[in-house]
Amino acid sequence: MTGSTGNGSHLSTQIWATADSKRHGYLGFKEFVTAMKLVALAQAGNEITQDSLAHADLQKLNPPMMGRLDTLLNINKHSTKIIDGLKRLYSQKLELLEITYRFNEFASPLLTNSDFDAKPMVMLLGQYSTGKTTFIKHLLKCDYPGATIGLEPTTDKFIVVTLLTTMISVKLLERITFVDTPGVLSGEKQRIQRSYDFTGVTSWFAAKCDLIILLFDPHKIDISDEFNNVIRSLHGHEDKIRVVLNKADQVDTEQLIRVNRALIWSLAKVLPNRPEVMRIYNGSFNDKPTNNVVVDPILKKVFERDQNDLLSDLRDIPNNVCDLKIRAFVRRAKAAKVHAYIISHLKNKMPIILGKATAQRRLIDNLENEFAEVRRKYDLPLGDFPDVQCFKEALSGHNIDEFKKLKPKLIRAVDVMLTCDIPQLLRTFGNLYGS
């Protein structure tokens, strides 16, 4: 395979990266056939690009020589693809830490194979009548079961929009699953009129989604206490968030500038862990033409640019799925490690015999100080810590005295996984999507 074309390792990496255009981290049947064609091109002295493949006369090429197919496929005894490697690392090193310190009861359920294999998910969040359902219909160019639109709250449950039949053709749903959510209500309605923990369900989906779109209406950008709690439940997933100011063609340029400033200010208080200013995507995400009476030509170009950028982000998700899985896995491992330190620290603060109830109340009331002590003691980054208020609410339902003390062996296993195993997994596959 490499006799006349230079460095074999570089070539096999190039072939794999070109064949695996969707960045799955493995070659399916179609991708494997493409890879074999690229091998034949390389052995004939041609460039390895999609363009050269498209213009090549494959009938005149010799079949690929298979003497070094193992180099191309990069098979090793532990993992045939990056996702399989992550599954193995989770079951061997991370899952035990999560179970021992009840990470699944505080943050996110234990992972299953479907969490690794599932299509990318995009969740839409916002107060009622901000255009969440219309946004999805606009992207799909069709209706879907459960899609109800109105000025009043209409969507009353979480709706997962995915492709379950081949009788209809919706290309986007073949690669992405959407989650349409109920609008956030105000006051007691949010708590009383729903028979489930809305914030808890939102947090559960946030951990599994690859992108979270927060939609706002220019006429109601105030973030209520209820919506504030929902956004806070996204803690640890700030990098997934995209903010959309929908129906932006309903206000003129001067009003839109003021609305953007106010929204950026409000979000900075709700999402303090974002070091950079949150970008606002302005537009009107529906099938109606832009309101040219209000929107001037310059503003119309801004809308088109923002909409194109957001749609580009959405379309790129399936192409970056392998990168997203690795990033989410590393983020989860760091959070689980910090969680173990917190739990064991609280356990050590409990008395041996008397005054346990009083000690637990004191620890919960002073939880922010306990977090600071853990951070100083183990030199941990602030961004890996959970939200104090959310952790306090979860902690109130547990008996701290039943928690486990720190087991350094479990911590070391996760440290080795983060510093050695995951980089080695990427090196095994040649870091295909690097520079």
Residue 213 parent element (H or E): strand 211-216
pLDDT over 60 at 245, yes or no: yes
Average pLDDT over residues 216-238: 86
Helix (H, G, I), strand (E, B) or coil at 407: coil
Strands 241-245 and 211-216: what pairing? parallel
Of the listed ranges 28-32, 45-49, 207-211, 330-334, the least confidently predicted one is: 45-49
Measured torsion, CA atoms of residues 384, 281, 125, 270, in degrees rounded to the nearest 10: 50
The per-residue pLDDT for 369 is 96
Q: What is the reported pLDDT for 62?
A: 72
Q: What is the pLDDT of residues 258-277, one digit of tens each?
A: 999 999 998 888 887 776 77
Here the tokens at position 35 are 């890879």
State mean pLDDT over 131-157: 68
Q: How far apart are CA 428 and CA 267, in angstroms?
A: 41
Between 177 and 344, residue with greater pLDDT = 344
With 60 as the cut, is the pLDDT of residue 9 above it? no
- 1.10.260.40, 3.90.180.10, 1.10.268.20, 1.10.10.10: CATH of 80-116+319-435: 1.10.268.20
> Which residue ranges make up each domain of the chain?
8-73, 80-116+319-435, 121-316
CB 171 within 8 A of CB 315: no
Is the per-residue pLDDT at 155 higher than 80? Answer: no
Which residues are within 8 A (CB) of 385 and not within 5 positions of it... i.e. 6 or more apart? 338, 342, 371, 375
pLDDT digits (tens, 9 = 90+) for 384-420: 999 898 899 899 999 999 999 999 999 999 999 999 9
Q: Which two tokens stand for residue 318?
A: 């399936």
- DSSP-derived letter for residue 93 is I
Residue 176 three-state SS: coil
Strand partners, 177: 121
* Average pLDDT taken over every residue of the chain: 81
Q: Which pLDDT band holds residue 6 (cuts at 50, 70, 90)?
A: very low
322, 433 Cβ separation under 8 angstroms: yes
Which residue, among 309, 222, 293, 219, has the nearest Cα to 256 in the 3D structure? 219
Instruction: Give φ, ψ of 121 to 5 degrees.
Output: -120, 145
pLDDT at residue 434, rounded to an integer: 44
**pLDDT (tens digit, 9 = 90+) per residue, 340-361?**
999 999 999 999 888 899 999 9
CATH architecture assignment, domain 121-316: 3-Layer(aba) Sandwich (3.40)
CB 329 within 8 A of CB 86: yes
Spacing of C-alpha 389 from chain mean position: 23
Instruction: Quote the CA–CA distance of 195 and 177 in Å, as a whole number.
Output: 25
Whether pLDDT at 293 is above 70: no
Q: Which residue has the tokens 């070659």?
A: 27
- 44-79 pLDDT, tens digit per residue, is 767 777 777 777 777 766 777 655 444 444 433 333
pTM for this one?
A: 0.72
Read off the DSSP letter of residue 25.
S
What integer pLDDT is reported at residue 160 of this predicted model? Answer: 82
Q: Is the pLDDT reported for residue 22 higher than 70?
A: no
Tell me what percent of the residues of the chain surpass a pLDDT of 70. Answer: 80
pLDDT of residue 376 exceeding 60, the answer is: yes
In this predicted structure, what is the pLDDT of residue 79? 39
Beta bridge partners of 127: 184
The letter for the amino acid at 434 is G
Residue 193 scores a pLDDT above 80 = no
- pLDDT tens, 87-122? 999 999 999 999 999 999 998 889 999 888 888 899
Half-sphere exposure of 373 (CA within 13 A, CB side): 13
- For residue 329, pLDDT over 80 is answered with yes
Q: Are 144 and 136 in contact (CB under 8 A)?
A: yes
Q: Are strands 280-282 and 177-180 parallel, antiparallel or unpaired?
A: unpaired
Q: What number is the average pLDDT over the span 173-179?
A: 85
pLDDT over threshold 90, residue 195:
no
Interacting residues of 45 by C-beta distance below 8 A, sequence separation 6+ = 4, 5
The pLDDT value given to residue 427: 80
Q: How far apart are CA 390 and CA 378, in angstroms?
A: 22
